Amino acid sequence: MNNIPYISFILIGRNEGPKLAASCLSVRNVCQKEGIEGYEVIFVDSNSTDNSIEVAQTAGFDKIFKIENATGAAIARNVGAQNSKGDILFFLDGDMELLPGFIKKIFNPDGKLIHPFVSASWENYYYTPEGEFLYHELYRKMAVNKPTFQPITGGFFVMERALWERLNGMDTRFLTGQDLDLGLRSSRMGYKLLRLPNVAVKHHTVSYRDETRKWRSLMAFRDMYARGVLYRKHFWRNPHIYRRMLTSDPTWLFLCLSLLISLLTFSLWPLLAYLPVVTLATVLHRKKESIRIFISELAFIVTRDIFNLAAFLFFFPKRPEYSVMTISTKK
């Protein structure tokens, strides 16, 4: 596969520690196995407080950068792209391992990418916050049975540099949801993400259903970016956002509708109708769980909906200022 363009693998993370070594090694093993010679592996650290930098220095990365003052995946990916030289940008999170076979599927025989914006399915390996392994499963939110064009992406995708530059990279106002914003903007430009059905990545992460993780993210107001702020940005000019809102936040939409009707009719009854609706949604979502989990989930959804409505109406984040430090590698 020596006829393919030069690939820049850009890995990002914060406090990933030993996962970084496995992630970098997986990329190099795949490239060696599939005969890819023109590539580089870059790591961008979001001001980690653990030994991530030390791990990265000996893991085999070609370039290492550390972001200070402000952090986030959008900033990290922009920094990685700005300091890369490949015509193809291959983005991974630092807790992901690349599997063989995917790269062969995304290039034509003449060495061109089959689509300017491409990804695939992956498997999540779930852990407790203390690092104890729980189980692994196909990430069904990203899984498809056949090649499918979608308006959203995730933490793993490949993009032509030309398209990345046309999009001006990621919007650094997004602390989370920056990948969703990128996918929506690319779709509006006419380039939906092409998702392939094969499993291309192992993703090691704390379970998304973990109560501590969910509430910590919510109370840090991180969810507001990927919902309230994202919805407002795309609501009036990008029809692809409506399906996202319907599938991801039906209770939030009902809250907005109920509030609007209440204001127009000067009555609280439409707004009060939100409570049985969100209760029903929780029952459908957590019908096999304990009463404690059910109550926690109900409180979580209500709190999240209120926060995201407030974000949609009042929260206008600014692009943060940050500095970048180049870290020497030890080879």
CA-based R_g, the chain, Å: 21
Segment 233-270, tens digit of pLDDT? 999 999 999 999 999 999 999 999 999 999 999 999 98
Q: Does 287 score more than 80 pLDDT? A: no
pLDDT for 224 equals 95
Q: Round to whole Å and give the CA distance between 193 and 119.
A: 7
Query: pLDDT exceeding 90 applies to what percent of the chain?
Result: 77
Q: Round to whole Å and give the CA distance between 1 and 14.
A: 33
3-state SS, 241-304, equals HHHHHHHHCHHHHHHHHHHHHHHHHCCCHHHHCHHHHHHHHHHHHCCCCCHHHHHHHHHHHHHH
Query: pLDDT exceeding 70 applies to what percent of the chain?
Result: 98
Residue 263 in tokens: 């204001």
The alpha carbon dihedral of 159, 317, 319, 23 has a sign of negative
Mean pLDDT within 192-198:
95
pLDDT for 130 equals 85
Segment 100-135, tens digit of pLDDT? 999 999 999 888 999 999 999 999 999 988 889 999
Q: Does 330 score more than 90 pLDDT? A: no
Q: Round to whole Å and give the CA distance between 139 and 65.
A: 30
The model's pTM is 0.93
Q: Does 181 score more than 90 pLDDT? A: yes
Q: Does 2 score more than 90 pLDDT? A: no
